[in-house]
């Protein structure tokens, strides 16, 4: 079980994590929460009903990580068509973003919070570390959060396709991106084993 998820009775998943791994995942999840932000109404909305129907932003985020996490729905710069058709796609994308981004952000926040809470609830073992056991619903939240963390790190590393990933394997140890690359690859392995576990 060390380093990869395995199925447990009841449809959940389990993985053994050492103290360093727990600290890294928790830190990354907290950073993701900070990046996504508290939501349109902050921590204590005055009118929950108004919050429910609040419109989100209509323009893509300026931060490249947020643009990767919340991409345009209809805009494809390589799509064929006239300038008018491209403008129409941008308008549709803007409208779609306005009515969906708040919910998407809330879902990503909830996934990250599930990760943090489940790590905080771990009981340590003598060797340093713990076995994380997740119920099926928690497993799905973890899967979403691991995907978001990899997307965020990939955006910071400017990974856009498989060739970029191949280059990461050949980075020299002194490259300042190396720790981020190792985290990206490790999270990918965790994500892959969790997918396999949930499909078994």
Nearest to 65 by CA among 21, 40, 34, 95: 34
Q: Is the pLDDT of residue 166 over 90?
A: no
**The pLDDT value given to residue 88:** 75
Q: What percent of the chain has pLDDT over 70?
A: 84
In a domain, 182, yes or no: yes
| CA 176 – CA 122 distance, rounded (Å) | 32
pLDDT digits (tens, 9 = 90+) for 99-114: 778 888 999 999 999 9
What domain range is 184 assigned to?
Answer: 6-199
Instruction: Tell me the CA distances in angstroms from 157 to 59, 63, 183, one per residue in order.
Output: 23, 13, 11
Q: In the chain, how many domains are there?
A: 1
- According to DSSP, residue 56 is labeled -
Predicted confidence (pLDDT) at residue 26 exceeds the cutoff of 80: yes
Neighbours of 154 (CB within 10 A): 20
Average pLDDT, the chain: 84
CA distance 135 to 82: 50
Residue 80 lies in a domain: yes
User: Is 67 a member of any domain?
Assistant: yes
At 195 the pLDDT is: 95
pTM: 0.82
CB count within 10 Å of CB 72 equals 17
Query: Which 3 state secondary structure label does DSSP give 77?
Result: coil
Query: What is the helix (H) or strand (E) element at residue 13, kind and residue range?
Result: strand 12-17
127-161 pLDDT tens trace: 778 999 999 999 999 999 999 999 999 999 988 77
Backbone angles phi, psi at 5, to 5 degrees: -75, 145
Q: Is residue 43 pLDDT above 70, yes or no?
A: no
Of 190 and 74, the structure prediction assigns the larger pLDDT to 190
**What pLDDT sits at residue 50?**
54
Q: Looking at residue 31, what is its pLDDT?
A: 96
Residue 94 pLDDT greater than 60, yes or no = yes
CA dihedral of 85, 88, 89, 90, whole degrees rounded to 10? 120
Higher pLDDT, 7 or 161: 7
Residue 44 pLDDT class (50, 70, 90 cuts): very low
Tell me, yes or no, whether 103 lies in a domain: yes
Does 1 fall in a domain? no
pLDDT at position 83 is: 75
């Amino acid at each position: 079980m060390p380093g990869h998820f395995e199925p447990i009775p009841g449809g959940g998943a389990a993985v053994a994590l050492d103290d360093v791994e727990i600290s890294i995942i928790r830190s990354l999840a907290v950073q993701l929460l900070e990046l996504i932000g508290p939501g349109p109404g902050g921590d204590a909305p005055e009118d929950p009903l108004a919050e429910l129907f609040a419109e989100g932003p209509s323009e893509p985020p300026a931060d490249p990580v947020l643009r990767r996490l919340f991409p345009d729905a209809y805009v494809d710069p390589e799509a064929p068509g006239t300038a008018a058709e491209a403008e129409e796609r941008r308008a549709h994308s803007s409208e779609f973003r306005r009515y969906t981004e708040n919910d998407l952000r809330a879902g990503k926040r909830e996934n990250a919070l599930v990760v943090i809470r489940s790590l905080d609830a771990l009981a340590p073992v003598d060797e340093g570390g713990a076995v994380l056991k997740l119920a099926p619903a928690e497993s799905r939240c973890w899967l979403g959060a691991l995907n978001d963390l990899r997307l965020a790190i990939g955006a910071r590393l400017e990974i856009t396709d498989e060739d970029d990933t191949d280059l990461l394997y050949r980075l020299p140890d002194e490259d300042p991106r190396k720790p981020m690359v190792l985290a990206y690859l490790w999270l990918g392995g965790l994500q892959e084993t969790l997918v396999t576990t949930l499909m078994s």
